[in-house]
Structure 1
C-alpha cells in the first residue's frame, strides 16, 4: 500500500473519473463569471464555460480557499503518512505559494511541488508522482524529483483570436486590431513559468508547422533526443473538438510511433486565450527507479 498520497488541482486536466480510478484527489479551481462563483468540473463544465464566454460575461480566476486545501490535506493525512500536492505553476497563479504557506503547519507531512507546469504537462507530473509513490518514495523525495524535472517540457499554443488577450490587458487594443486586420495567428510558449510570445503565423497551416518544428527542436536539442523512449508528445485545445481531432492526426503523422494523448486546456488558460486554440507539448520522460 502507498504511504504517500497524491493531490493536484483541476488545471491538470485530470477528470473526476480518472482521479477516482487512480486514487488521486483533484481540487477544483474556482471561477467568477458575471455575478456567480463556479468550481471547475463541479458546477462548471467546459461547454458551459465557453457558452458563458461567448455571451461576453466577465470571467475572473481565483485560487482554492485555505479551508478547502486544509480539509483535503487533513482528510488524506488520516489515511497516509504524508502527501504531495501539485498545483499549477507559480508563474501563472499565486495558489502554489499560498499552499506552501499552509504546508508549513504540517511538519513536513505536506510537500507542495512547484514544477512550473499546467494542463497535460502537469498531468504527466501528477502521474509521475503516483508512480514514484508506488515505488516507495516519500513526499519530500517526490517533490525534489519533480522540481528538478520542472523545465524538461514545453508547450506551444496557437490562438484563433486576439480578442481575449486584449480583453485581459495582455496586449494593447492597437496591437490586437493590427493582428486581426492582418489575420495573424499568435503562437505562445510555456516553458517553465509564464506564457510568452513565441511567433506569429499568417495561416493556421503555417502556425502548425511552426509548432511542430519547435517541438522537434526542443526534443533534439534540449531534452536528449526525439524518441518514444525519451519523450512524450501530447496535445491540447480549447473548445473546438473537430479541429482538435484533425490536429491530433497531424501530430501523429509528424511523429510516427508516438502515442499522442489529447485533452482540453484547463479553464485557467482558456479564459485568457478563448476558443479555437490548438496546442502541442513535449515532455522528457521521467525514469522511475
Structure 2
C-alpha cells in the first residue's frame, strides 16, 4: 500500500500543533503588515493579527511562498510515496495554480486538489483525505473523490463591523456608513469558492438566526440525499472572541440535537476581510 502524505495551507485553520498530532502537514499563508512579512501560525498568531487590525495597520494576505511548498514536499517525499495537497479554493487565491504548476516537476507523485473550499470546509477535506489514504486509496483516487464532492459544502458568515468589507472593496463606503447607522449586518455565503451576499438583517441576534435558517435549508434541500449515504457534518467558526464562540457552539448544539458541532477560529485570511467578531456556521457532507 502506498504511503501518502496529506498537506494543506494554513487557510484551513489547522494549526501546526493539530497537524502534528493528527499526522497531516501545513504550509503557512503569508501576510504583509506595514511592509513586513509574517507567516500565519509561525510569526503571526490571531491575537497579534487582531491587534494590528484594530490599530489600522496595512494588512495584506498572500499565498504560501514557493519555497515553503517545495521544502515541505521535498522533505515528505523522502519518506512518503505520494503527496496530496489541498490548497484553499482557486477562486480566492493563486495557491492552487501555483501548486499545480510546481507539482508537475514531481513526475506524478504530487496530486493537487481543486478543492473549491475554504476554512472549516477545507479542513474537513483534509480529514477526508487522511481517511481515504488510510483506506488504501492512491493519491490520484483521493484527488478525484475530493474534487467530485467539493461542492457538497456551504459556509455562512455574519460580521460585527462593516469596516473591513469596505476596506476590501466588497461594499461601498456609503453602504458601510448607512449599515453602521442602521445596525444592518450582511450575511455572507461561501460556496464553490465564491463569496456572495446572502441576506441583510438588522442586529446581531437576527443575523445569527439567519445563519441557522440558511444551514437548515441546505440540510433539508441541498444535502437531503447526500445525508442518506454520507452523513452531515456541522462546523462553527469565530473571529477573535472565544467567549462568544463558546456560547455560539452551545446554542447550535441545542438547535441541532444529535450533531457534534466543531468550533474553530477563522483563518487569518478570512479575518482580513470580515474582522474581529465575525461568526460563521458551515455544513459538509463528509465521507
TM-score range, shorter chain: over 0.9
What does residue range 94-105 of structure 1 map to in structure 2 within 5 Å? 94-105=94-105
**After superposition, what is the alpha-carbon deviation per residue over 1:257-276, rounded to whole angstroms, capped at 9, x for unaligned?**
11111010000000111100
TM-score norm. by structure 1 comes to: 0.96
Partner of 1:272: 273
What does residue range 1-289 of structure 1 map to in structure 2 within 5 Å? 3-224=3-224, 230-286=231-287
Matched-pair contact (CA < 8 Å) for 1:31–1:60: yes
- In 2, distance between residues paired with 1:228 and 1:158? 31
**After superposition, what is the alpha-carbon deviation per residue over 1:214-243, rounded to whole angstroms, capped at 9, x for unaligned?**
101101111126689720111001001111
Q: CA deviation at 1:2?
A: 5.6
**After superposition, what is the alpha-carbon deviation per residue over 1:1-24, rounded to whole angstroms, capped at 9, x for unaligned?**
761111111111112121111221
Q: CA deviation at 1:98?
A: 0.7
**After superposition, what is the alpha-carbon deviation per residue over 1:59-102, rounded to whole angstroms, capped at 9, x for unaligned?**
00111121221111111111111110001111110111110011
- In 2, distance between residues paired with 1:227 and 1:113? 25
Indicate the RMSD between aligned Cα atoms, in angstroms.
Answer: 1.4
Instruction: Give secondary structure in 2 for the equivalent of 1:195.
Output: strand
Q: CA deviation at 1:138?
A: 1.0
- In 2, distance between residues paired with 1:80 and 1:90? 26
- In 2, distance between residues paired with 1:68 and 1:267? 18
- In 2, distance between residues paired with 1:146 and 1:96? 14
- In 1, distance between residues paired with 2:126 and 2:153? 14
Instruction: Give secondary structure in 1 for the equivalent of 2:124.
Output: helix
- In 2, distance between residues paired with 1:179 and 1:102? 44
After TM superposition, the structure 1 stretch with the greater mean CA deviation from structure 2, 200-209 or 147-156, is 200-209
Tell me how many residue pairs correspond in the alignment: 286
Instruction: Give secondary structure in 2 for the equivalent of 1:169.
Output: coil
Q: CA deviation at 1:35?
A: 2.4
TM-score norm. by structure 2 comes to: 0.96
Instruction: Give secondary structure in 1 for the equivalent of 2:284.
Output: strand
- In 1, distance between residues paired with 2:2 and 2:159? 41
Gaps of 5+ in 2: none
Would the alpha carbon gap of residues 227 and 217 (structure 1) be closer, same or farther in structure 2, given more than 3 Å must change?
Answer: farther
Q: CA deviation at 1:150?
A: 0.3
Matched-pair contact (CA < 8 Å) for 1:228–1:257: no
